[in-house]
Amino acid sequence: MSPQQLPSAIRERLPAGVPTSLTGLIGLALLIGTPLGLAAHASDALLSLLAPIIFFGDLFIACLKLLIVPIIVTSLVVGVANVGDVSRLGKLGGRAAAYYMGTTAIAATLGLVLVNLIRPGDGASLEGYDIPAKAEAGRDMGVGDMLMKVFGNTLLHPIDSLREGDIITVITVTLLFGLGLILIGERVAPVVDGFKRLERIIMGVVHNIMWLAPIGVVGLLIEALGKSGLGLLLDLGKYCLTVLLALGIHGFIILPLIVLLIGKRKPLEWFRGIRPAMAVAFSTSSSAATLPVTIQSVEENLDVPTPVASFVLPLGATMNMDGTALYEAIAALFVAQALGFDLGMGQQLVVLITAMAASVGAAGIPSAGIVTMVMVFQSVGLPLEPLGAIYAVDRVLDMCRTVVNVMGDTAGAVVLTHLEDSAPATA
Ligand code: ASP
């Protein structure tokens, strides 16, 4: 593992103590951006003064978004061609699905256990909030509609959804293309070769764009925290602490144990390797926008082979959201407790299942969880008005759960790499 370093000409001019690796600089950016964002929330003048830095944040996220589709297409074609065998690919897909379901179920169960133990809703007031406009989008959506929303466009309107950059459609079409290449075999080897070169070029672009990350992260944090501050985090403190505790246990105890016991990798090594992706996830609140960095981190820092990374991570960024699942389960139980609804075991099981489905249905973008949470509320007959309170404290919790979502994806890549018993990337 060799962290990206500043060129020596710049390194020599920096005062002692200033980090010289990209990861160190991103860490510094988190330390600077968080208090600066909170200070900007208190002062409009400071917020406008910092507008140029916010611009760099927007530029950084725009560059990442631009790379999502090219990176999925090139690395997936290379990945599929490297696997070179349809049944092996099916096995990888089956294992990925089992990992996603297993870890999401663990996360949602953890959320339910904690919310039952801590009971943050007892005595909490949820009055005076409006239903967020975003939640309206999820009204009347059942589990079937949700799955239709995720997969239906791919099946029914593939061209439109491809044009819109829908990740599931991009993955499906690219997979089919890759399978075609495998089936034709040697005759299309130059095409595969071309994709390999393209993939290297795009990873090179990601490498360079990452130098925008330190200033980009500061800008994104100022923008997010400057606008929302800590929200009403303190008003709903016990609820927020329950969510943060569950995210902490899942991200820093359960996932590392999975990495150690099933992935057979040292958790600290995993953690170090994915720090850039965690920082970008925290500052963008978007698993999808973080995807190029996630792929780069696991391939370059953890030697996850391209076939695994390119297959598991784009799917994971869209469908595997441990943080979102536990968040949705906790939010529903919190509201039920505050309203005095007594949800028994059977109904909590319904919450567990719908929270898992809702996490699959949530897009990898900021606050997507709020839209799909409507379905969880409706599954056990909770009114939608209290979603206003949940939304009021959503931003910071979204930053944290997105980190855990991305951590879950990278742990999956490590686990599947071990199970595949693949050699390090050669592509
Ligand atoms: N922002 C989360 C993500 O991109 C989704 C959510 O809102 O829970 O992973």
pLDDT tens digit string along 137-152?
Answer: 556 666 666 666 666 6
Residue 221: pLDDT over 80: yes
**For residue range 329-361, what is the model confidence (pLDDT) as tens digits?**
999 999 999 888 888 889 999 999 999 988 988
Question: What domain range includes position 54?
Answer: 8-426
- For residues 213 and 61, the answer to whether their CB atoms sit within 8 Å is no
Q: Which atom of ligand 1 is nearest to the CA of 289?
A: 4
Distance of CA 60 to the CA centre of its chain: 17
Measured distance CA(217)–CA(303) in Å, rounded: 25
Centre of ligand 1 from the C-alpha of residue 55, in Å: 23
**Between 158 and 111, the higher pLDDT residue:** 111
- The terminus-to-terminus CA distance of the chain in angstroms comes to 17
The CATH number of the domain holding residue 309 is 1.10.3860
The predicted structure's pLDDT at residue 427: 41
Centre of ligand 1 from the C-alpha of residue 406, in Å: 9
Instruction: Write the CB contacts of 254 (distance below 8 Å, at least 6 apart in sequence).
Output: 103, 106, 107, 110
Instruction: Write the CB contacts of 274 (distance below 8 Å, at least 6 apart in sequence).
Output: 294, 297, 298, 301, 302, 406, 407, 410
Across 290-322, b (16+ Cβ under 10 Å) vs e yields: bbbbbbbbbbbbbbbbbbbbbbbbbbbbbbbbb
The predicted structure's pLDDT at residue 172: 83
Distance of CA 174 to the CA centre of its chain: 21
Centre of ligand 1 from the C-alpha of residue 286, in Å: 6
Q: How many residues are listed for the chain in this entry?
A: 427
Q: Dihedral sign, CA of 101, 359, 281, 169?
A: positive
Residue 151 located in a structural domain: yes
| Tally of domains in the chain | 1
The predicted structure's pLDDT at residue 138: 59
* 121-125: long-range pairs with CB below 8 Å, 24+: 121/239, 121/333, 121/334, 121/335, 121/336, 121/337, 121/338, 121/339, 122/337, 122/338, 123/338, 124/236, 124/238, 124/239, 124/334, 124/337, 124/338, 125/338
- For residues 74 and 294, the answer to whether their CB atoms sit within 8 Å is no
Instruction: Write the CB contacts of 65 (distance below 8 Å, at least 6 apart in sequence).
Output: 288, 289
The predicted structure's pLDDT at residue 407: 97
**For residue range 48-58, what is the model confidence (pLDDT) as tens digits?**
888 888 898 88
- Using DSSP's 3-state secondary structure scheme, residue 423 falls into coil
Centre of ligand 1 from the C-alpha of residue 313, in Å: 15
- For residues 280 and 217, the answer to whether their CB atoms sit within 8 Å is yes
- For residues 323 and 399, the answer to whether their CB atoms sit within 8 Å is no
- Using DSSP's 3-state secondary structure scheme, residue 422 falls into coil
Distance of CA 323 to the CA centre of its chain: 9
Q: Which residue's CA lies nearest to atom 8 of ligand 1? A: 369
- For residues 230 and 38, the answer to whether their CB atoms sit within 8 Å is yes
pLDDT band at 424 (very low <50, low <70, confident <90, very high): very low
Q: Which residues line ligand 1 (CB under 6 A)?
A: 285-287, 321, 324, 362, 364-369, 398, 401-402, 405
Q: Which of 106-120, 180-194, 196-210 has the highest mean pLDDT?
A: 106-120
Residue 381 per-residue DSSP state: T
Residue 1 located in a structural domain: no
Centre of ligand 1 from the C-alpha of residue 224, in Å: 14
Residue 109 located in a structural domain: yes
Q: Which atom of ligand 1 is nearest to the CA of 290?
A: 4
The predicted structure's pLDDT at residue 425: 45
Residue 289 located in a structural domain: yes
Share of the chain above pLDDT 70, in %: 89
* C-alpha gyration radius of the chain: 21
Among 146, 286, 396, 398, which residue has the most ligand 1 atoms within 8 Å of its CB, making it the best to mutate?
A: 398
Residue 73 located in a structural domain: yes
pLDDT band at 136 (very low <50, low <70, confident <90, very high): low
Q: Which atom of ligand 1 is nearest to the CA of 323?
A: 8
- Using DSSP's 3-state secondary structure scheme, residue 128 falls into coil
Centre of ligand 1 from the C-alpha of residue 17, in Å: 35
The predicted structure's pLDDT at residue 129: 63
Q: Which tokens go with 151?
A: 């997969």
- For residues 190 and 276, the answer to whether their CB atoms sit within 8 Å is no
The predicted structure's pLDDT at residue 421: 66
Measured distance CA(27)–CA(217) in Å, rounded: 9
Centre of ligand 1 from the C-alpha of residue 355, in Å: 13
Instruction: Write the CB contacts of 214 (distance below 8 Å, at least 6 apart in sequence).
Output: 22, 25, 26, 28, 29
Closest of 104, 123, 115, 133 to residue 370, by C-alpha: 133
Centre of ligand 1 from the C-alpha of residue 85, in Å: 33
Residue 3 located in a structural domain: no
Residue 281 located in a structural domain: yes
Across 114-134, b (16+ Cβ under 10 Å) vs e yields: bbeebbbbeebebeebebbeb
Residue 291 located in a structural domain: yes
Among 250, 319, 324, which residue has the most ligand 1 atoms within 8 Å of its CB, making it the best to mutate?
A: 324
pTM: 0.82
- Averaged pLDDT for residues 226-234: 66
